[in-house]
Structure 1
Amino acid sequence: MDETVAEFIKRTILKIPMTEMMTILKAWDFLPENQLQTVNFRQRKESLVQDLVLLCESKRASLRDAALLDIIYTQFHQHQKVWDVFQMSKEPGEDVDLFDMERFKSSFEKILRRALKNVTVSFRDAEENAVWIRIAWGTQYRKPNQYKPVYVVYYSQTPYAFTSFCHLKSNTPLLSQALTVASNHHKIVKMDLRSRYLDSLKAIVFKQYNQKFETHNSTMPLQETLELDMHMDSRIIHENKIEKERVQRVTQETFGDYPQPRLEFAQYKLETKFRSDFHGGILAERKEPLRCLIKFSSPHLLEALKSLAPAGIADAPLSPLLTCIPNKGMNYFKIRDK
């Protein structure tokens, strides 16, 4: 086994938490289970890694084998990446082609290798007709950097692909070309949608977030909140009850009665002319628009927005600029004067 491959496998195994070690190694399916049973998984991690690397050396693991292990680790820890969404389209009136996954993989790899000599491309099929693609970029004079790959998740017979951050921006057009040609599309655009949570991005673009799931309501039940106000005037209690019922109804109509897709932020770029009832002034004479950036962030932004009105922090309904995120498939907005 090549020294660079041994080092690559060693670094990948070191990243795997001990609680997930056996699960990931079994998913890799490179080391037979009878060999894994001979390994002491209770020893120090450094010693365990050395034992596993020796087993890989005895089986003459290749770079492709090591790349597959890295893909599996990334699938288990996909939230460690930031994912962008690309949308492809066909020409108007063009028929939908019969999709062949093996032909897609072959075409995708050929396009990249035709343009770039030093590149490593690896694939792993996943559920729901998806394929994970790992690309390690090199240059015409340097071998591929296996420690800064880009990952692509493509769902067959759909116009959507999800990509992790690409360290070599100059290769993004090549990646886009490979995706469009291999999937029989003609145009590709990057959507204004980004998150660490790949499943939530998929739910948004495939409109799966509005399915009926188990009811999730973080607000305190009405009866429970009203019992706290036993000594309050009955008319006030009645008004509060009506208002709280209205807020809950509007919130449910806006967000639905199901868990929201998980996004960490929404960003709004505002460009507008200065307006004032007072004449004159430096800002009034300014020809360039005023620009500002507003960013809302939260570990679970949409659920946080959903809870604002019931908590009494904001009026119901919320601004459409905040509630339209899943429907529009965007969390980057540019707001300009009409």
Structure 2
Amino acid sequence: MGLHPFYSAKEMDEIVAEFIKRTILKIPMTEMMTTLKAWDFLSENQLQSINFRKRKESLVHDLVLLCEEKNASVSDAALLDIIYTQFHRHQKVWDVFQMTKEPGEDIDLFDMKQFKTSFKKILQRALKNVSVTFRDAEENAVWIRIAWGTQYKKPNQYKPTYVVYYSQTPYAFISSSRLRSSIPLLGQALTIASKYHRIVKMDFRSRYLDSLKAIVFKQYNQTFESHNATTPLQERSFGLDINMDSRIIHENRIEKDRVQRVTQEIFGDYPQPRLEFAQYKLETKFKSDLNGGILAERKEPLRCLVKFSSPNLLEALKFLAPAGYSKSEEKRREQKEI
């Protein structure tokens, strides 16, 4: 990345030094060495020359001096910030975006190098001042950090957007940002670079990126399952009193067993992925046996948006039926027939 036209070399050095300083200050001391080694910018000898038992302010000063000696760039500093964010991904709120192709269109062979080049060019052509940094991760994933500027202002390195894209899949995870105007451009860059045609935001989000990934890739049985599969169903607890009083009527016992069985079939008895926000779009027409009325005469369907939030939304939904707050579709049909 070249020098910004508004800044001299000395001013750029000061900007990079401040950027690195702020990033290192965020890193917990217990993670400092691990993070710096993952960064792989400072050599092993340079790291060994640093006294990590110093006060953090003094340690950061020494590390920044070493970075200045190696002429660290904005891109180098941005890479360190990506690594920190990867370790602390739960501090962000992540939205899921799904891309689609045209019906009948073949799947193209994916080239990560070509994707990065195309993605960066699209953003830089549309916006003069924008910096883009990539870091490859596990499972064919790439982390992308975008610092947004304007036609007349340099990129703001302290309010970036992070994207995690899994190659050869239609899914991208994007950190929630106040810069909503950048989302359409970001979506355009993702779809063109990955050779898709359309991108839509899905109706759930969470701070737990791994849980979102498990949900969209349907990996929760493997990723989150932690129970003993040999445990008999009747011994597993769903918030019900397994040692029920013998005086409970037979019908009530059968109903509780049925609720327990259906809940287990739907959710399993392993911990659910951590989902914090979800929304459901409802569209229905009003029906009534009564004559007249504003709603009965309405031709347009009723539309509403139902939003759910919880520290662990799926676990909360899992216990609604056993707690008696919801009924399965099977039970509703039975009651309707009666």
Q: Which residue of 2 aligns with 1:45?
A: 56
Q: Deviations over 1:44-90 (max 9, x none)?
A: 21111111111111211111110000001111111111111211122
Q: How does 1:131-142 map to 2 (within 5 A)?
A: 131-142=142-153
2:130–2:148 contact (8 Å) kept in structure 1? yes
Q: How does 1:291-306 map to 2 (within 5 A)?
A: 294-306=306-318
**Separation (CA, whole Å) in 1 of partners of 2:255 and 2:104:** 51
TM-score with structure 2 setting the length: 0.81
- Of the candidates 80, 83, 86, which is equivalent to residue 91 of structure 2? 80
Q: Which residue of 1 aligns with 2:164?
A: 153
**Separation (CA, whole Å) in 1 of partners of 2:174 and 2:202:** 11
**Separation (CA, whole Å) in 2 of partners of 1:181 and 1:236:** 62
**Structure 2 residue 257 is matched with structure 1 residue 245:** yes
1:104–1:183 contact (8 Å) kept in structure 2? yes
Tell me whether 104-113 or 270-279 shows the greater mean CA deviation: 270-279
- Of the candidates 205, 214, 217, which is equivalent to residue 226 of structure 2? 214
**Separation (CA, whole Å) in 1 of partners of 2:168 and 2:281:** 34
**Separation (CA, whole Å) in 1 of partners of 2:301 and 2:192:** 40
1:124–1:131 contact (8 Å) kept in structure 2? yes
**Separation (CA, whole Å) in 2 of partners of 1:168 and 1:251:** 41
Q: Which secondary structure does the structure 2 equivalent of 1:266 belong to?
A: strand
Give the letter for the 1:127 counterpart.
E
- Identify if the C-alpha distance between structure 1 residues 285 and 147 changes in structure 2 by more than 3 Å, giving closer, same or farther: same
Q: Which secondary structure does the structure 1 equivalent of 2:271 belong to?
A: coil
Q: Which residue of 2 aligns with 1:327?
A: none
**1:192 Cα deviation after fit:** 1.8
Q: Which residue of 2 aligns with 1:195?
A: 206
**1:236 Cα deviation after fit:** 2.0
**Structure 2 residue 276 is matched with structure 1 residue 264:** yes
**Structure 2 residue 105 is matched with structure 1 residue 60:** no
- Identify if the C-alpha distance between structure 1 residues 281 and 91 changes in structure 2 by more than 3 Å, giving closer, same or farther: closer
Q: Which secondary structure does the structure 2 equivalent of 1:2 belong to?
A: helix
Q: Supply the RMSD in Å over aligned alpha carbons.
A: 3.0
TM-score with structure 1 setting the length: 0.81
- Identify if the C-alpha distance between structure 1 residues 275 and 81 changes in structure 2 by more than 3 Å, giving closer, same or farther: same
Give the letter for the 1:47 counterpart.
S
Q: Which runs of 5+ in 1 are unaligned?
A: 321-338
- Identify if the C-alpha distance between structure 1 residues 242 and 70 changes in structure 2 by more than 3 Å, giving closer, same or farther: same
**Separation (CA, whole Å) in 1 of partners of 2:35 and 2:138:** 16
Could you tell me the percent identity over the aligned residues?
Answer: 79
